[in-house]
Chains A and B, each alone.
Chain A
């Protein structure tokens, strides 16, 4: 028998279709160059109803000019779009749905639009595909959510369309790879057109059109934490984490989530960490954005290497001057890459530590409240145990041995440490521990198959609060696990309903460790321990290389 060929099948329809779009674009564009004042008209010429469209943007950079131009399009020309994008962050991203230009949405992060997106989902203006993690959405770009059109952002372009994406390269290479090599159309907004780009981040033959926005794309300084706002409770939890987790497990490779608790850890390394003799033994390799609060530790020689998802506003010169630590290009500036850094955080780090808004008695955590859908971003990738990991490391093996006492060592899977850190009462005195996550109520309200859980309980290995550390790896039953969580939940309702006798037994088995069990006096948790106590201290520690944005300066 031989294979029967399909009669009359054209195997290159997509290429033909792209060629037709490029030809249609020529009614407005001159070669690859689109006149900025006719951008909307141009988009109407090349985008077809029902297209899958990616407007580049995440929790940091935004293709803002292109987003605005698309939101101004005539719904009669462009409609029923299926938006597949990391971030729904700009108001225009949702205006598309209000105006009937877009209908369906697959995304990852919604940050500042979390309340409006929730209202629009309740109101049925958006047909939701799914809320993803970054890595998951990137993966689907290559399988079943490949964009027909990608609207991306770069620092500069030359006349051939070679792009320089600079320190905030972030998602661009992934989006372009998926779109351009599958016959989709790539349109870039750039801050300026130059004769020669400082480095080629995206080769010009993958880029079909360029528009000169004449100003830089928008970037949110999301990872800057002012040391002046770090509280003594956060310092205490940071001391517990360093002495009770980083030191005994010997955590060298890790990722820090956003927040003041992890900023406090970064600021304690050169002082408290140094006094404990931990330099060189912990925190040498990071999957991390260039956090300003990491400057004192870098300057004190703690950090060997950092790979970044994105950059951070004001850190550009500092990073360029510390190329032994960061990944930089031939032009000297940072090269970030979200997909690679997410993969690095998932597979090559032994610990994730971050904060959350709610933790339930099974250890599930979520940042969702009933009226807001903030999405996931990358936290679930960082905060999960990768079952595909095969290389051993000391912390991974030690955690694996704590979790599984029956399997023979060569057959025992290691465990990544996934740590939730926070104060028992968070912002506005809202308790961190809850009977039931708000995410469940939301799932019910929206009729979702899955509640938006940020980190699943079975991935969480430790919970750190000012009351102590709960080691969930050592728990042998769900009952023990529940009491271990109650045992560090302080004066919240969850904490007050603990079984005191059982909690004391857990403490004897070191499942719960109090500050005094670790030789930490809570009265020592003082702001004078911070290696920098203000943004200005950070600027001074960097030798003036860190240039904080105006909104963070108190001078």
Chain B
């Protein structure tokens, strides 16, 4: 029967945070009581939220103090607006100053169309803040398994993180399925074929091509354990790391650039029965995938 523990996919941003960090350790910055809502949405007669769809603050994870941010995918698809973005930028700049690691719970479709310029600027500021925090020695860990996935600018930000943890439900990409279909045609990408969407953007595929570092079950305990382990591992961003990552991506493009479907990639990775992979439970999948996947070879 259905797993009635805290499903990461089903949970709200606040439920995820509560289940992730040590009990009672979360302290919110600029909470809903501060009413820092979007100054733009009112112009479009759209409802606002007092936290602008992102929660930022400080918490403890297995006793270690970290800064945390969680996007609420149920509000405007977790999209980045001016306030939303500023809260995350501020948190990342604080991390650098305080020398603290950051955990970001992504759940976003990208930039909010109604405040696109502010949103795009926010994405760039966040990327810069991540790079500065990481070169200063902080780890930035991304958790992806929410309903909205991690798309648009969110997908680029995720690519700048030190470590990504993903569940099967999680999706990571820049352009979403509908956008690709609209621009390139249904022959290129059938956005209504959901199994295909997951084979090309979903958690298992991203883990297999080294686009994510850990693959966990859709529950808060799995995400928590992997986050604690990743915090302990801590990898500073250096020029060597960047060059290794560039090399890895070049090789990946050469190896899989012609693939039309996740199946083609998995086959090239040496999977005996690629079509069986989507149906496998986490343990069985990891048993097969661990050794054959395109590793991130410590690039992050």
A binds B: yes
Assuming the contacts A527-B10, A533-B7, A533-B10, asked whether A553 and B2 have C-beta atoms less than 8 A apart, the reply is no
Q: Is B196 an interface residue (CB 8 A)?
A: yes
Task: List CB contacts (< 8 Å) of A517-555 with chain B.
Answer: 527-528, 530-534, 537, 540-541, 544, 550-555
Bound-state CA distance A270–B197 (Å) is: 32
Q: Is A296 an interface residue (CB 8 A)?
A: yes
Assuming the contacts A553-B198, A555-B278, A555-B279, asked whether A532 and B2 have C-beta atoms less than 8 A apart, the reply is yes
What band does the interface of chain A fall in when counting residues whose beta carbon is under 8 Å from B?
Answer: 10 to 19
B194 touches A550 (CB 8 A): yes
B2 touches A531 (CB 8 A): yes
- Closest Cβ–Cβ distance, residue A298 to chain B (whole Å): 13
Complex contacts, A530 vs chain B, CB 8 Å: 2
Q: Is B192 an interface residue (CB 8 A)?
A: yes
Bound-state CA distance A550–B197 (Å) is: 10
A552 touches B1 (CB 8 A): no
Cβ-defined partner of A537 (8 Å) among B2, B168, B202: B2
Q: Is B193 an interface residue (CB 8 A)?
A: yes
Q: Is B229 an interface residue (CB 8 A)?
A: no
Bound-state CA distance A540–B282 (Å) is: 14
Bound-state CA distance A207–B10 (Å) is: 52
**Best-buried of A528, A541, A554 by chain B (most CB within 10 Å):** A554
- Closest Cβ–Cβ distance, residue A529 to chain B (whole Å): 9
A555 touches B1 (CB 8 A): no
Assuming the contacts A527-B10, A555-B204, asked whether A550 and B2 have C-beta atoms less than 8 A apart, the reply is no
Closest B residue to A300 by CB, please name it.
B1
B2 touches A555 (CB 8 A): no
Assuming the contacts A527-B10, A533-B7, A533-B10, asked whether A551 and B2 have C-beta atoms less than 8 A apart, the reply is no
B1 touches A553 (CB 8 A): no
Task: List CB contacts (< 8 Å) of B120-168 with chain A.
Answer: 168
Residue pairs across A and B with CB atoms within 8 Å: the count is: 47
Complex contacts, A551 vs chain B, CB 8 Å: 192-195
Bound-state CA distance A551–B197 (Å) is: 9
B195 touches A528 (CB 8 A): no
Task: List CB contacts (< 8 Å) of B190-215 with chain A.
Answer: 192-198, 202, 204
Complex contacts, B279 vs chain A, CB 8 Å: 544, 555
A541 touches B2 (CB 8 A): yes
Assuming the contacts A527-B10, A533-B10, asked whether A553 and B4 have C-beta atoms less than 8 A apart, the reply is no
B10 touches A553 (CB 8 A): no
**Best-buried of B2, B169, B204, B279 by chain A (most CB within 10 Å):** B2
Complex contacts, A531 vs chain B, CB 8 Å: 1-2
A553 touches B7 (CB 8 A): no
Complex contacts, B195 vs chain A, CB 8 Å: 550-551, 553-555
Complex contacts, A540 vs chain B, CB 8 Å: 2
Complex contacts, A270 vs chain B, CB 8 Å: 1
Assuming the contacts A527-B10, A533-B7, A533-B10, asked whether A552 and B194 have C-beta atoms less than 8 A apart, the reply is yes
Bound-state CA distance A534–B1 (Å) is: 11
Would you list 30 pairs from A and B whose C-beta atoms are within 8 A, ordered by A residue? A270-B1, A528-B4, A528-B10, A531-B2, A532-B2, A533-B2, A533-B7, A534-B9, A537-B1, A537-B2, A540-B2, A541-B1, A541-B2, A550-B194, A550-B196, A551-B194, A553-B195, A553-B198, A553-B278, A554-B194, A554-B195, A554-B197, A554-B198, A555-B168, A555-B169, A555-B195, A555-B202, A555-B204, A555-B278, A555-B279
**Chain B residues close to A by CB (< 8 Å):** 1-2, 4, 7, 9-10, 168-169, 192-198, 202, 204, 278-279
**Chain A residues close to B by CB (< 8 Å):** 270, 296, 527-528, 530-534, 537, 540-541, 544, 550-555
* Extra 8 A-B pairs, beta carbons < 8 Å, given A533-B7, A541-B1: A296-B1, A531-B1, A541-B2, A550-B193, A553-B195, A553-B278, A554-B194, A555-B195
Return the 5 tightest CB-CB contacts between A and B, nearest first: A550-B195, A553-B195, A537-B2, A555-B278, A550-B193
